[in-house]
Amino acid sequence: MTGIPDTMTAISIIEPGAPDVLVPAQLPTPEPGEGEVLIKVAAAGVNRPDVLQRKGGYPPPPGAPETPGLEVAGTVAALGKGASRYALGDEVCALVAGGGYAQFCSVHETNALPVPKALSLIEAAGLPETFFTVWTNVFERGALKPGESFLVHGGSSGIGTTAIMIANALGARVFATAGSADKCQACEGLGAEICINYREADFVEVLRAATGKRGIDVILDMVGGDYIARNIKLAARDGRIVNIAYLNGSRAEVDFLPVMLKRLTLTGSTLRIRPVAEKAAIANALQTTVWPLIEAGKIKPIIHQVFPLAKAAAAHALMESSSHIGKIVLTVD
């Protein structure tokens, strides 16, 4: 590839462990395959699944790079055979199955989206993982409709802040939970009608009262544990509960009677393993429905802190402290 170095700096996980196992290394620059674009990465988003991968709990799917990183933004530096959607030099952001913490990253062109006009490359790098996840889980699996009520747990997370903004912009009545007064204030500032500090109040009681005992139509949960039974208790008739993680465990003693009586749907999904074509369908839906809201300034990703690529370990330590609100992003020279 002309003008592209044979090797690049990328972050390696030298062994499963604490954040300091993330170290810069020289690796071969990837070659874009058929239908793929090679992106010269300007910024890469950090996500909780990267932390799990670093600890050895979330291996890359077959064929994906070992290098962590699920989302990038940058410029198109080379085109694989048959790739025609973008031209060299175009600014794109992309969902990748791995390899984002690097100077170059290749991705199928259908899993890349143009950088919305209103955003910097740093802001755009924080879009794909949470926007794809929220779209497919809340609006496809959960089928959230305007006027319905929506609760997201972990409201201050990258996922949570994204879910609050999109659901609010698309006309839902939005509620959230988070672990401190500051985080709750931030969630309410983004459009949550009430954010419950779960360390101080019972979200089931507060939200049954807030909805006149009707309950919540769609719940997006990453916590699991005792939230599994509490979500079922809180769900409205025909409610949908979508799990995208089980930070507090995936086993629980549950009374399933309300699932039948209230006609509930319990579902969930993981994004990384899904085929390119399914991710492309999500990308198309986002481009049609959500990108215009970003370009109109109605939704803007919340960037908590930016670190240079070589400081990926510090970025992970911050994420594990859970003191952040919104996204953590790495910048790449």
Ligand X SMILES: NC(=O)c1ccc[n+]([C@@H]2O[C@H](COP(=O)([O-])OP(=O)(O)OC[C@H]3O[C@@H](n4cnc5c(N)ncnc54)[C@H](OP(=O)(O)O)[C@@H]3O)[C@@H](O)[C@H]2O)c1
DSSP string, 11-38: EEE-SSSSGGGEEEEEEEPPPP-TTEEE
Q: Of these, 156, 170, 194, 221, which contacts ligand X (CB under 6 A)?
A: 156
| Token pair listed for 308 | 């240079």
50-89: contacts with ligand X (CB under 6 A): none
> Min. distance of Cβ 202 from ligand X in angstroms?
15
Query: Cβ neighbours of residue 153 under 8 Å, at least 6 residues apart?
Result: 160, 176, 177, 198, 203, 219, 220, 221, 222, 223, 227
CA distances from 238 to 140, 264, 270 (A): 15, 5, 23
Mask 192-231, x = binds ligand X (CB under 6 A)? ------------------------------xx--------
- Residue (of 75, 82, 70) closest to 39 by Cα position: 75
The nearer residue to ligand X, 92 or 245, going by C-beta atoms, is 245
Q: Which of 319, 329, 330, 332 binds ligand X (CB under 6 A)?
A: 319
The H-assigned helical ranges of the chain are: 48-54, 121-125, 128-134, 158-169, 181-190, 203-210, 227-234, 257-261, 276-289, 291-295, 312-321
Contact between 314 and ligand X by CB under 6 A: the answer reads no
Smallest gap, in angstroms, from Cβ of residue 69 to ligand X? Answer: 12
CB-wise, 29 or 243, nearer to ligand X?
243
* Per CB under 6 A, 244 contacts ligand X: yes
Question: Which of 247, 280, 293, 306 touches ligand X (CB under 6 A)?
Answer: 247
Neighbours of 5 (CB within 10 A): 12
CB of 141 vs ligand X, minimal distance in Å: 11
Q: Which is nearer to ligand X, 9 or 269 (CB)?
A: 269
Bridging pattern class, strands 22-28 and 7-13: antiparallel
Cross-strand partners of 114: 92
Stretch that binds ligand X, among 19-27, 151-159, 163-171, 258-266 (CB under 6 A): 151-159
Among 48, 173, 240, 279, binds ligand X (CB under 6 A): 48
Q: What residues make contact with ligand X under the rule CB under 6 A?
A: 47-49, 129, 133, 154, 156-159, 178-180, 183, 222-223, 244-245, 247-248, 269-271, 319, 322
